Structure 1
Amino acid sequence: MGIEKIVLLIHVVLAVGVIAFVLLQRGKGADAGASFGGGASQTVFGSEGSGNFLTRTTGILVTGFFVTSMALAFIAQEKANSLESINVPVVEAVETDVPAATSADENALPAE
């Protein structure tokens, strides 16, 4: 398995993790344990509630997502540079002379 596939797999897992942790966080004005019902945040996440744990974990996941994004961009740039170095011939566009339309042609009705 190539390094690009490994980084891409980690990137996708981090993306799903970020989505999950953002959705678990409470909205503005909601109870800390709204996702789990009642006061569940006190028992599931400790006495501090879910805010600190979820916020910190989301930050770590987002940092990892950023790092893998940069790694994938670097890998793509290296691949593009390596393709340029193999000297593949590039076909250039050829311009052809097209006769200009006359005013008589512009006023003529199209043939049916």
Structure 2
Amino acid sequence: MNTLFNLVIVVQVLSALAIIGLVLLQHGKGADMGAAFGSGASGSLFGATGSSNFMSKSTAVAAAIFFSATLGLSTMATQRGAANTGGGVMQNVNTPAPAPVKGSAAIPSAAPQAPAEAPAASVPAAAAPAAAAPASSAPGAQIPK
């Protein structure tokens, strides 16, 4: 089953590259200079060359192969997912057990413990910010009345 899955992926990628190449190689229907002024609008729905030429038929075939490969891949993925019950992207993740706390035989609780009492701030007086200077000593602080 895995080989078939890989084969369908290769077919899908090749058909996608073929679509890209064929679309880039095709000449647009209204790419002439006269089409800019409205002369291209007088043609029929499919243009003068008929309903399709080799390039557009090849693009349609490549698109049909691409969509059928996509449908096949989605069907295979659905069948592959049915074998894995309880599906989800995280079903196979192994979570490690929490490490025991050193020096304590108690089981750690789920709620975080409050930190021990914070030490008092022992800031020396010299390092404390200076108090605001009195208004009389600041330049321009006194306004004459």
**TM-score, normalised via structure 1 length:** 0.56
Structural RMSD (CA) = 3.6
% identical equivalent positions: 28
What residue is the counterpart of 2:11 in the other structure? 10
Give the paired residue count: 85
Matches of 2:72 and 2:60, distance apart in 1: 18
What residue is the counterpart of 1:61 in the other structure? 62
Q: Which has the larger radius of gyration?
A: 2
Matches of 1:2 and 1:84, distance apart in 2: 23
Amino acid at match of 1:63: A
Amino acid at match of 1:4: F
Deviation beyond 4 Å, 4+ runs, structure 1:
none
What residue is the counterpart of 2:102 in the other structure? none
Q: CA deviation at 1:26?
A: 1.1
Runs of 5+ consecutive residues of structure 1 not aligned to the other structure: 32-47, 90-95, 98-112
Matches of 2:19 and 2:59, distance apart in 1: 6
Describe the superposition over 1:22-76 as per-residue Cα deviations: whole angstroms up to 9, x where unpaired.
0011124236xxxxxxxxxxxxxxxx6xx60110000000000000000000010
Runs of 5+ consecutive residues of structure 2 not aligned to the other structure: 33-48, 93-109, 112-145
By percentage of residues, which structure has more helix?
1
